[in-house]
Structure 1
Amino acid sequence: MLGQPVVVENKPGAGGTMPAQLLQSAPPDGYTVAQIPLGVFRLPYTTKINWDPVKDISYVLNVTGYAFGLVVPADSALRSWTHFVGWAKANPGMLSYGSTGTMTSPHLTMELIAQKLGLQLLHVPYKGSADLMQAILGGQIMAAADSTGFAPQVAAGKLRVLNTWGAERLAKFPDAPTLKELGLDMVQNSPFGIGAPKGTPPAVIKRLHDAFKQAMETESYVSALARYDMVPMYMNSAAYLRFAQDTFAKEKALVEKLGLMRQP
């Protein structure tokens, strides 16, 4: 679609925000783009950085969002969300759960749930989903909050899903209730898209947008997303920039509410 080879370079750690940080030193020529996870909009509130997530990224388009959930080992005594909450209340600070990193959407969502329910949980951050799955399967933590890449382990009978975080139940886990069904008025799907360096010419942004948009409409893309319980979630460049501006303000309010704001 672009007539160019595309090299995908994975940059784990930092809650998935490393690619956005690398954009700050990349030339604005359209040859470097990055996935922009929701955690990017929290960075200035939790970490000292010298760039602005809204002003210093050229937003190309949003492509999808994650499906999240909470899992426990299949042989865990925490058979349901009711058991999870009951055990956490009876054992403050003892129920350990892992996430894909500090200040990621799974981490903050779990902390918001804990705050709403008066729970004290023990958060254990990992570098990514692979490390997180190794930890829970190895018995190092009691639960894991992550996107539904854990599905193969559930299908293999090694993990059990306690809840999912979308607006509706997931077809792959029909017995797992949503947070809303459990009395928590919350939906978390963490939209993400593609960004380019600040100053990338509008014509280049349009060409990138059109190519990614065309790719989003292919059956192979839709099928690939479906494997992870995800669906296309398109926003054009202008809409994605507005989303970035709105989300930047909302994330500040969330970080403040949880008492996690970085001290100056």
Structure 2
Amino acid sequence: MQQPPPTLVPGGSGLDDYPRKRQDMNPLIRPLLKGLFVAGAALALCTAHAQSYPTKPVSLIVGFAPGGSADILARLVAQKLGTTLGQSVIVDNRPGAGATIATAAVAAAKPDGYTLLMVTSGHAGSSALYPKLSYDTQKSFDPVAKVGASPVVIVAPASAPYKQLKDVVDAARKNPGKLNYAAGGGGATTTSLAAEFLKSEAKIDMVMVPYKGSGPALTALLSSEVDLGFDIPSSALPHIKSGKLRPLAVTTKTRSSVLPDVPTVAEQGMPGFEVTGWFGILAPAGTPPAVIARLNKEVNALLSDPDTRNKLEGLGVEAASGSPADFGKLIESETKRYGDAIRKLGIKAE
């Protein structure tokens, strides 16, 4: 004979107990569910933002004057990137104080992907040169992509008596503090740091004359206002090809593909000497990861394009590729390397 179903007594151990237990658990579950909901909503919002991004022009800020290497690369990237993003990418030059004015502006900008920063490897040394910066060179930014790498080329006016780097070293040793050189961007640049490293390695004294970028520095060099220049091939190459500037050395381990006849510093009596400049794009810290990923994807795509690579190679820049994390690791390692060297040599910003 079939047994009757059990009697469900309110407050007992039967099914009637379930609603009460569910209510008792709500105070514990509710915060968790709320957190999951907020996280899900934020993720959905970021994803939607990335999918629609960009809906207006993007600003690419450069800390140097027009005509210099960073400016030339920024304009090349901006043109190509604007096409793939479907919105204009506008280059905004804000020179001064070794690019720290521009960098501070981006650090304080809204992290929405509409304000980006073109940096050079000098960014890695700026915290050691300028201890009172309003931003942290690493924590205040999200890496987007490395754009390229390049040597520094040491040049002299064609009318100068220097035919090779040894001539410069000999003259500087004979007349300490008499020779001067142009440094675009001031102290926190790869070019000025290359000069400082050379002075230390060769044990010579030369005076830096700072300018707001490679453009003004080259103008001074071409008019023989200064004796030497330390620059990136992308800026100096047209004047080298025209015969107005004489290249004396490049600072990389190996010779540059665009200046194959110019020996390295290491070949000219300073073995182991190496300074390689690089360029990249940063965004303000807190920029949505999906936006960073989109920008990284588009930058890597344009850098793999044969036309872009040819243009970069013609400027003496080797196109890069990689993830935001890869670029972040480079900045971290270079910040330590440059910082240690700057403190050891006692280099101060001019």
User: Smaller-chain TM-score range?
Assistant: over 0.9
Instruction: Mark the CA change 1:105 to 1:236 in structure 2 (over 3 Å): closer, same or farther.
Output: same
1:144-164 deviation line (CA, Å, top 9, x unaligned): 111112112122221111101
SS of 2:154's equivalent in the other structure is: strand
CA distance in 2, matches of 1:251, 1:183: 23
Answering whether residue 281 of structure 2 is matched by residue 194 of structure 1, we say yes
Contact 2:99 2:188 in 1 (8 A): no
Query: For 1:211-246, what per-residue CA distance to the aligned partner results, in whole angstroms no more than 9, with x for missing partners?
Result: 111111112211221221111122311111111222
1:145 matched to which residue of 2? 230
Q: Which moved more, 1:26-35 or 1:218-227?
A: 218-227
Q: CA deviation at 1:3?
A: 2.4
Q: TM-score, normalised to structure 2's length?
A: 0.71
The residue number in structure 2 matching 1:55 is 139
- In structure 2, what is the equivalent of residue 132 of structure 1? 217
Please give the root-mean-square deviation of Cα atoms over the aligned residues, in Å. Answer: 1.6
2:283 maps to amino acid: A
Structure 1 position 10, deviation (Å): 2.1
* Aligned residue among 105, 113, 129 for 1:22: 105
- State whether residues 313 and 319 of structure 2, in contact with CA within 8 Å, keep that contact through their aligned partners in structure 1: no
- Equivalent of 2:250, from 159, 164, 183? 164
For 1:13, the equivalent position in structure 2 comes to: 96
Gap regions ≥5 residues in structure 1 = none
Q: What is the percentage of aligned positions where both structures have the same residue?
A: 30
For 2:128, which of 45, 56, 75 is the aligned residue? 45
Partners of 2:126 and 2:258 in 1: how far apart? 33
* Contact in 2 for aligned 1:72/1:160 (Cα 8 Å): yes
User: Within 5 Å, which residues of 2 pair with 1:104-253?
Assistant: 104-148=189-233, 149-184=235-270, 185-253=272-340
Alpha-carbon contact 2:129-2:187 (below 8 Å) kept: no
State the Cα distance separating 1:29 from its structure 2 match: 0.8
CA distance in 1, matches of 2:348, 2:162: 32
Task: Provide the rounded CA distance (Å) in 2 between the counterparts of 1:158 and 1:243.
Answer: 35
Cα distance in 2, alignment partners of residues 72 and 22 from structure 1 = 35
Aligned-partner SS, 2:148: strand
User: Matched residues in 1 for 2:119 and 2:215: separation?
Assistant: 20
Q: Which has the higher helix share?
A: 2
> Aligned partners of 2:283, 2:263: CA distance in 1, in Å?
38
Instruction: Find the aligned partners of 1:8 and 1:22 in 2 and give their Cα distance.
Output: 14
Deviates more, 1:174-183 or 1:207-216: 174-183
Gaps of 5+ in 2: 1-83
What is the TM-score normalised by the length of structure 1? 0.93
Tell me, yes or no, if the aligned pair for 1:30 and 1:196 is still in contact at 8 Å: yes
Secondary structure of 2:161's counterpart equals coil
Q: Which amino acid aligns with 2:262?
A: A
Does residue 35 of structure 1 match 2:146? Answer: no
Q: How many residues align?
A: 262
Shift of 1:261: 5.6
- Output the amino acid matched with 2:329: R
Higher RCO by CA contacts (8 Å cutoff, separation 6 or greater): 1
Per-residue Cα deviation, 1:24-78 (whole angstroms, up to 9, x for no partner): 2211111111112222222222221122111110111111023311111112111
Instruction: Give the match's secondary structure for 1:8.
Output: strand
Query: 2-side partners of 1:205 and 1:77: how far apart?
Result: 50
Partner of 1:92: 176
